[in-house]
């Protein structure tokens, strides 16, 4: 099992070494905009997915090869807090790396209502929870949660996390056209966010392909929502275009990336810091070998692993 991917340049985190603890696709949500496949196992019961011995061995090897890391980020192919005893994983990372790199957890916020989950997360340096809805109706429509999760539980969890967690919290809101981009919803978001008190708010757009067809809010509406929701707070809406030459210029890194999510040429070039000519060559080879396939989504060409 490969638990790690990258480090990849991330628009939010610099060079981020991704940690994938959960098999595809185990999640407590089945979001409309999910860029992975549809959730096949929608659960809220936590299990131990990681073989800690293998995990530690892989991390030690990566650390030896990649000294340039800004964050070690737990996210991946499902909801990371579904891994039982997440604090053991975070502490193992800190021990092996001698706390050289801050640890970030990206979560859909679904299990934050549980005290033990919040307490395990205290070991992280940064938490990026998401909140895509300001009403119960929108929550059910956009996140399609496990039946025992309620909108109230999500908000209560986020408010409690803020009270207990001493590190940074960057709240992420995915804006989906026609679903959570009304001005009424934005006003409600504002009130909820005032209770959560994140250090930063990040508005995101579902620019990558998902199984369900969704639209983007119009640019004028995004600006208005940004103003209503964030007031004077910091907002991150930009996309990283930074490139670098690294030893990642291999077919293997492309395959590893595409196993997790579909990507266009520019996504691969930007995320893996690859030379674009070399990426084109690798993609052509992989298409020829029928390992990947291509398709067009919103006038952009995407590549994905061929499963059939
Ligand atoms: S929480 Fe994340 S992984 Fe789960 S369905 Fe939503 S977008 Fe996909």
Alpha carbon of 108 to ligand 1 centroid (Å): 7
Q: Which residue has the higher pLDDT, 83 or 275?
A: 83
Kindly state the helix (H) or strand (E) to which residue 229 belongs, with its residue range.
helix 219-230
Element (H, E) at 192: helix 183-196
Scanning the structure block, which residue is given the tokens 């696709």?
25
Whether residue 122 is predicted with pLDDT greater than 90 in this model: the reply is yes
Shared domain for 297 and 208, answered yes or no, is no
Same domain, 83 and 54: yes
Q: Residues 174, 189: contact at Cβ < 8 Å?
A: no
Same domain, 220 and 246: no
Q: Which residues pair with 294 in a beta bridge?
A: 303
Whether 63 and 200 map to the same domain: the answer is: yes
Q: What is the pLDDT of residue 257?
A: 81
Where does a domain end: 217, 240, 263? 240
Q: Name the band, by pLDDT with cuts 50, 70 and 90, for residue 189.
A: very high
pLDDT reported for residue 240: 33
User: Cα separation of 172 and 199, whole Å?
Assistant: 11
Q: Are residues 135 and 274 in the same domain?
A: no
Q: Is the CB of 29 under 6 A from ligand 1?
A: yes
Cα 63 to Cα 6: distance, rounded to the nearest angstrom: 11
Closest-CA residue to 27 (of 104, 82, 87):
82
Which of 210, 240, 270 delimits the end of a domain? 240
pLDDT score, position 256 = 77
Structure tokens that stand for 216 in this block: 């983007």
Last residue of a domain, one of 191, 221, 240: 240
For the chain, what is the radius of gyration of the CA atoms?
19
Over residues 125-141, mean pLDDT: 98
Cβ of 39 closer than 6 Å to ligand 1, yes or no, is yes
- Do residue 59 and residue 89 come from a single domain? yes
Question: Are residues 33 and 168 both part of a single domain?
Answer: yes
The parent domain of residue 65 ranges over 4-240
The pLDDT assigned to 86 comes to 96
Higher local confidence (pLDDT), 137 or 12 = 137
Residue 34 beta carbon below 6 angstroms from any ligand 1 atom: yes
Mean pLDDT of 169-184: 96
Residues 250, 123 share a domain: no
Looking from the CA of residue 25, the nearest atom of ligand 1 is 3
Across the chain, what does the average pLDDT equal? 88
CATH number reported for the structural domain that contains residue 270 in this entry: 1.10.10.10
User: Which run of H or of E encompasses 153?
Assistant: helix 151-164
Domain count, the chain: 2
- Is the previous residue joined to 307 through a cis bond, with omega within 30 degrees of 0? no
- Flag whether pLDDT at 7 surpasses 90: no
User: Partners of 83 in the beta sheet?
Assistant: 47
Q: Are residues 35 and 93 in the same domain?
A: yes
CB count in 10 Å sphere of residue 159: 15
In this model, does residue 180 exceed pLDDT 80? yes
Mean pLDDT within 93-107: 96
Judge if 180 and 293 occupy the same domain: no
The predicted pLDDT at position 233 comes to 62
Question: Cα–Cα distance between 202 and 172 in angstroms, integer?
Answer: 5
pTM here is 0.82
Domain CATH number, residue 86:
3.20.20.70
Please tell me whether residues 120 and 246 are part of one structural domain: no
pLDDT at 249 over 60: no
Residue of 162 and 239 predicted with greater confidence: 162
Which of 43-57, 99-113, 234-248 is predicted with the least confidence, judged by mean pLDDT? 234-248
Ligand 1 nearest atom to the CA of residue 110, by list position: 1
Tracing tokens 């919040």 back to the chain, one arrives at 118
pLDDT(241) > 50: no
Reported as a pLDDT band with limits 50, 70 and 90, residue 248 is: very low
Look at residue 72 and tell me whether its pLDDT is greater than 50. Answer: yes
CB of 79 shorter than 6 A to ligand 1:
yes
Asked whether the beta carbons of 32 and 212 are under 8 A apart, the reply is yes
- Same domain assignment for residues 259 and 274: yes
CA of 31 to the centre of ligand 1 (A): 5
**Do 303 and 285 meet the contact criterion of CB atoms below 8 Å apart?**
no
């Amino acid at each position: 099992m490969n638990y790690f991917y990258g480090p990849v340049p991330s628009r939010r985190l610099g060079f981020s070494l991704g940690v994938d603890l959960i098999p595809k696709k185990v999640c407590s949500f089945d979001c409309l905009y999910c860029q992975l496949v549809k959730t096949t196992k929608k659960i809220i019961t936590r299990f131990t997915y990681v073989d800690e011995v293998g995990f530690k061995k892989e991390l030690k090897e990566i650390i030896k090869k990649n000294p340039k890391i800004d964050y070690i980020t737990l996210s991946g192919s499902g909801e990371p807090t579904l891994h039982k005893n997440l604090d053991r994983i975070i502490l193992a990372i800190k021990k092996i790396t001698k706390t050289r790199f801050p640890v970030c957890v990206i979560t859909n916020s679904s299990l934050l209502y549980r005290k033990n989950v919040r307490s395990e997360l205290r070991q992280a340096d940064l938490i990026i929870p998401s909140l895509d809805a300001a009403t119960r109706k929108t929550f059910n429509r956009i996140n399609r949660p496990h039946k025992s999760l309620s909108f109230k539980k999500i908000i209560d969890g986020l408010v409690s996390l803020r009270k207990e967690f001493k590190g940074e919290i960057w709240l992420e809101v995915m804006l989906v056209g026609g679903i959570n981009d009304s001005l009424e919803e934005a006003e409600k978001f504002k009130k909820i966010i005032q209770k959560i008190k994140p250090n930063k708010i990040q508005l995101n757009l579902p620019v990558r392909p998902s199984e369900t067809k969704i639209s983007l809010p119009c640019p004028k509406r995004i600006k208005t929502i940004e103003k209503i929701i964030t007031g004077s707070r910091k907002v991150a809406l930009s996309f990283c275009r930074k490139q670098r030459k690294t030893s990642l210029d291999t077919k293997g890194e492309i395959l590893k990336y595409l196993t997790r999510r579909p990507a266009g040429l520019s996504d691969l070039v930007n995320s893996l810091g690859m030379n674009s000519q070399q990426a084109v060559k690798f993609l052509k080879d992989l298409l020829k070998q029928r390992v990947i396939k291509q398709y067009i989504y919103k006038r952009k060409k995407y590549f994905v692993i061929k499963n059939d």
